Amino acid sequence: MNNHAHIDEHRDDEGAKTGMWIFIFTELLLFGGLFIVYSVYRYLNPMAFHLAAEELDVVVGTVNTVILLVSSMTIAMAITSIQLKNKKLTLILMGVTILLAIIFMVNKYFEWTGKISHGIFPGSEILHQSSQGEILFFGLYYAMTGLHALHIVIGVGFIAYVMWLVKTDDVKHDDYVILENSALYWHLVDLIWIFLFPLFYLIT
Amino acid sequence: MEKEAHTHIVKYSTYIYVLIALLFMTFLSVAVTGIELGPYTVSAALLLASIKSILVLLIFMHLKFDKKFYGIMVASVFILLACVIIVTFLDYLYR
């Protein structure tokens, strides 16, 4: 009777992961809707979108793409290292991911403040004198990269929380589904950027 | 026992190869849009983005190693999205 500590942990890794994927689907459809809005307005205002897109800095966009791709790799590697029971490496890889995310946000900050100092922001005097198409382009630019940046911030919080769980051994080599889910979330952020980058920075 | 069945450990090197491929395609898409190909620029950039996203989904997001039904669900969502895009553009092209 005593010492019969049967801890019945209700654990369903498959279910947890499926839930994360379903959440990711809602996110894909949310951004998918925005991509449709973008492509329709682009189809209706090809010249304005062409001119407006030339304002964006391809170098900054490329650097941020590289940063996100590398961070996606490090968080993916964190799963391998937790499976191999290497707690220290897992924490390092997750820390690098967060660090890269912060560098991404710093780049984004300078990019946005650069645009704003040139008078390009929703409701600005310069945009009011521009064509309807250019107003639409920059509206979508701020809305879509802004929503993406919000996802980065949430991702940093999520990964930092899981880092804490790894540190306190709540995430272990045989129980790491929340780490997998945070990685899935981070890859989603990467996935969205893979399409934002060519649409806003490259196609001019 | 049921744990062993679906625990697949991906090698670090696999991730490094995928990253190299992704970076290569990123620089390729920058280079391709640098030279003017007219309407093909859009197609080329989007094609490269699609290949990149498939790589991310398969390897980084483990769809290649997970149970098949995850992959089927993801494919369904993308097909749904593609249908919505096609219908929207049919509307705009023929109105």
For A171, how many CA atoms within 13 A lie in the half-sphere containing its CB? 28
Look over chain B and give the mean of its residue pLDDT values, rounded to a whole number.
Answer: 88
Q: Which of A40, A43, A72 sits opposite B60 (nearest CB)?
A: A72
Which residues of B are less than 8 Å from A65 in CB distance?
26
Q: Which residues of A touch B22 (CB under 8 A)?
A: 69
Query: Is B59's CB within 8 Å of A76's CB?
Result: yes
pTM: 0.92
pLDDT (tens digit per residue) in A38-81: 999 998 998 899 888 888 999 999 999 999 999 999 999 999 99
Residue B59 at interface with chain A, using a CB cutoff of 8 Å: yes
For chain A, what's the residue count?
Answer: 204
Q: How confident is the model at residue B17 (pLDDT cuts 50, 70, 90)?
A: very high
Predicted confidence at residue A146, as pLDDT, reads 96
Mean predicted confidence (pLDDT) in A154-183: 96
Nearest CA in chain B to A181: B61
Instruction: Indicate if the alpha-carbon torsion angle A60, A61, A62, A63 is positive or negative.
Output: positive
Taking Cα atoms as reference points, which of B81, B80, B53 lies closest to residue A35? B81
User: What CA–CA distance (Å, rounded) separates B31 from A153?
Assistant: 30
String of DSSP letters for A94-122: HHHHHHHHHHHHHHHHHHHHHHHHTT-ST
In sequence order, which residues have a C-beta less than 8 Å from that of residue A57 and are 6 or more positions away? A111, A114, A201
Contact A190 B56 (CB under 8 A): yes
In this predicted structure, what is the pLDDT of residue B33? 82
B33/A36 CB distance under 8 A: no
| pLDDT band at B16; cut points 50, 70, 90 | very high
Report the pLDDT value the prediction gives residue A131, as an integer from 0 to 100: 87
Q: What is the distance between the alpha carbons of residues B77 and A97, in angstroms, rounded to a whole number?
A: 28
Q: What tens digit of pLDDT does each residue of A14-37 get? A: 999 999 999 999 999 999 999 999
Give the distance from residue B64's alpha carbon to the nearest chain A alpha carbon, in angstroms.
14
Interface contacts (A, B; CB < 8 Å): 105
B15 touches chain A (CB under 8 A): yes
Percent of chain A clearing pLDDT 90 (strictly above): 79
Q: What is the pLDDT of residues A99-141, one digit of tens each?
A: 999 999 999 999 999 999 998 988 888 888 888 899 999 999 9
Position B1 scores a pLDDT of: 37
Is this prediction's ipTM beyond 0.95? no
Predicted confidence (pLDDT) per residue in B34-51, tens digit: 776 677 788 888 899 999
pLDDT at A163: 97
Please state, in angstroms and rounded to a whole number, the distance separating the CA atoms of residues A151 and B19: 22
Alpha-carbon torsion (A51, A55, A58, A61), positive or negative: negative
With H, G, I as helix, E, B as strand and everything else as coil, classify residue A155. helix
Q: Rounded to 5 degrees, what are φ and ψ at A175? A: -150, 85
Nearest to B53 among A17, A180, A191 (CB): A191
> Do residues A47 and B95 touch, judged by C-beta distance below 8 A?
no
Residue A125 to chain B, least CA–CA distance (Å): 31
B28 touches chain A (CB under 8 A): no
List beta partners, residue A172: A175
